[in-house]
Structure 1
Amino acid sequence: MKHQYVAFDIETAKILPDDNSDLHDHRPLGISCAALWATDSDEAELFYSKDGDDNPAAKMTGFDLSQLVDLLLDRQKSGYTLLTHNGLGFDFDILAEESGRIADCKKIARRHVDMMFHIFCGKGFGVGLNAAAQAIGQSKPEGMDGSRAPLLWKQGAHQKVLDYVAQDCRLTLDVAEKSARRNSFQWITQRGKKASFYLPSGWLTVEEAMDLPLPDTSWMDNPWSRSKLSGWLDNEG
């Protein structure tokens, strides 16, 4: 069955110190903007709050984020499959905190397809979106990544950040659809080689991926447990 996907991505608002620390150590992070891009759409839907002068606000309000959660729930009810790359371990965890809609974000997260989590459950390690995009002849814009977005947003380069979050959705959608057609997810390794992961049943939702057998990670020095990405689903709140 061919899925009608809606790719989802957020950009955070807090400017972080350049110390390579874990993003989660600096929460709350705030959300500057978000995007959705559906399989049957030619462009992204963009979301951000506005200040009193009708300009993009420093971060999205709880009210606007709650409306975004309602929209995501509605898309799932309408038959779309929500799609992210690391949405379980990041986007929906942050959205739950910032919107206050914790139970609803957990529900959305469990039922959506997180490509990185699926690969992580099968291989024991994650693969970045850019490595997957390169395998299909695409890539993120040079010199731009999510760590730069908060400063650019604060400096007023709103359109550049909005273009970036939209492109991440487009790349996620392209990777997901091409992988599903060939029943194989591919990526470019750090050594410049193409690697692949078989998808016999296509992409799995987070709930389905959790049922995959644990991979052999004995060769890794410090392998992550699945709870590093999914643990917030079990937290009370």
Structure 2
Amino acid sequence: MKKQIAFDIETAKDIPGDGFDWKPHRPLGISCIATLQCDQAEPEVWHSLEHQAGEKNQPRPASRMSQVDVASFVRHLIGLTQQGYSILTWNGLSFDFDVLAEESGMFEECKQLAREHVDMMFHIVCEKGFPVGLDAAAKGLDVSGKLSGVAGVEVPKLWASGEYDKVLEYVKQDARITLEVAQKAEQNKKFQWKTRKGTISSMPLLRGWLTVEDALELAEPDTSWMTAPKGRKSFLAWMDES
């Protein structure tokens, strides 16, 4: 079994609108993170704690993770890579690692982790020219899907209103899906997803999932049929901007 760890972050700031145009609203803050290693039965969660004024009982989750705690998480990822673990994400290249870099202040470390890790969605973009959603991947591979009853856009509001357990279950499930999709697709030597039309499409995966650096070496796919294709370089833009 490959030594792999999947992770997913949830951001703290509520982004208006339906398109999740998050960059104009940064810094977003991180409410919580979940990780799942291939040799663990259950995901681990990461968040900061705070005491309310006048409270004498146990601290509750903070509205946002502190810079110290986010930096500690980044160092945790670095330590795991030094132990031989491969990091897995779904869109981690252009989102999770960008936010982690800003929130931790560890820009160079996050850039290196981002280049060397496996972002499955980015691999698909490099191969096919378009992204696929994590839930579509889960449905295509017949693995457990997103937590029912919770939409991703609702998560910041849920966290702010104190529904911590619901959000933590949501982020843990995303970590589970990410690892399970990675393992099942590699086992089958092909990736499958459910299209918007309801059909199942597939992509050969004979070499397994590629790191960001290796995916960038793939030949550019034909995107002439697309109205507004998103070039692979746009996923790495933050590295030049930071």
Residue 124 of structure 1 and its aligned partner are, at CA, apart by 0.5
Mapped to 2, the partners of 1:193 and 1:143 lie a distance apart of 24
The answer for the alignment partner of 2:73 in structure 1 is: 68
In the alignment, residue 71 of structure 2 is paired with which amino acid? S
- TM alignment of 1:1-237, pairs within 5 A: 2-53=1-52, 54-137=59-142, 138-235=144-241, 237=242
Which stretch of structure 1 is more off in the superposition, 135-144 or 183-192?
Answer: 135-144
Which stretch of structure 1 is more off in the superposition, 138-147 or 173-182?
Answer: 138-147
In the alignment, residue 140 of structure 2 is paired with which amino acid? A
Residue 213 of structure 1: SS of its match in structure 2?
coil
In the alignment, residue 69 of structure 1 is paired with which amino acid? V
Computed over aligned residues only, the root mean square deviation of the Cα atoms, in angstroms, reads: 1.1
Mapped to 2, the partners of 1:21 and 1:182 lie a distance apart of 33
In the alignment, residue 164 of structure 1 is paired with which amino acid? Y
In the alignment, residue 31 of structure 1 is paired with which amino acid? I
Q: Note closer, same or farther for the CA distance 1:183–1:69 as it changes in structure 2 (3 Å cut).
A: same
Mapped to 2, the partners of 1:22 and 1:225 lie a distance apart of 18
Residue 26 of structure 1 and its aligned partner are, at CA, apart by 1.4
Q: Which consecutive segments of 4 or more residues in structure 1 shift more than 4 A? A: none
Q: How many residues align?
A: 235
Q: TM-score, normalised by structure 2?
A: 0.94
Q: Would you say the 8 A contact 2:118–2:211 is kept in 1?
A: yes
In the alignment, residue 174 of structure 1 is paired with which amino acid? E
Could you list the per-position Cα deviations for residues 97-147 of structure 1 after superposition, in whole angstroms to 9, with x for gaps in the alignment? 111100000011111100000000000100000000011223212332321
Which stretch of structure 1 is more off in the superposition, 47-56 or 64-73?
Answer: 47-56
Residue 21 of structure 1 and its aligned partner are, at CA, apart by 4.8
Residue 20 of structure 1 and its aligned partner are, at CA, apart by 2.6
In the alignment, residue 85 of structure 1 is paired with which amino acid? W
Gaps of 5+ in 2: 53-58
In the alignment, residue 131 of structure 2 is paired with which amino acid? G
Q: Would you say the 8 A contact 2:147–2:169 is kept in 1?
A: no
Residue 237 of structure 2: SS of its match in structure 1?
helix
What is the percentage of aligned positions where both structures have the same residue?
A: 49
In the alignment, residue 79 of structure 1 is paired with which amino acid? G
Gaps of 5+ in 1: none
Mapped to 1, the partners of 2:155 and 2:18 lie a distance apart of 16
Residue 34 of structure 2: SS of its match in structure 1?
strand
Residue 58 of structure 1 and its aligned partner are, at CA, apart by 0.3
Q: TM-score, normalised by structure 1?
A: 0.96
Q: Would you say the 8 A contact 2:141–2:191 is kept in 1?
A: no
Mapped to 1, the partners of 2:211 and 2:225 lie a distance apart of 27
Q: Would you say the 8 A contact 2:126–2:218 is kept in 1?
A: yes
In the alignment, residue 60 of structure 1 is paired with which amino acid? M
Residue 234 of structure 1: SS of its match in structure 2?
helix
In the alignment, residue 43 of structure 1 is paired with which amino acid? E
Could you list the per-position Cα deviations for residues 16-66 of structure 1 after superposition, in whole angstroms to 9, with x for gaps in the alignment? 213535122211110000011000100111000001241100000000001
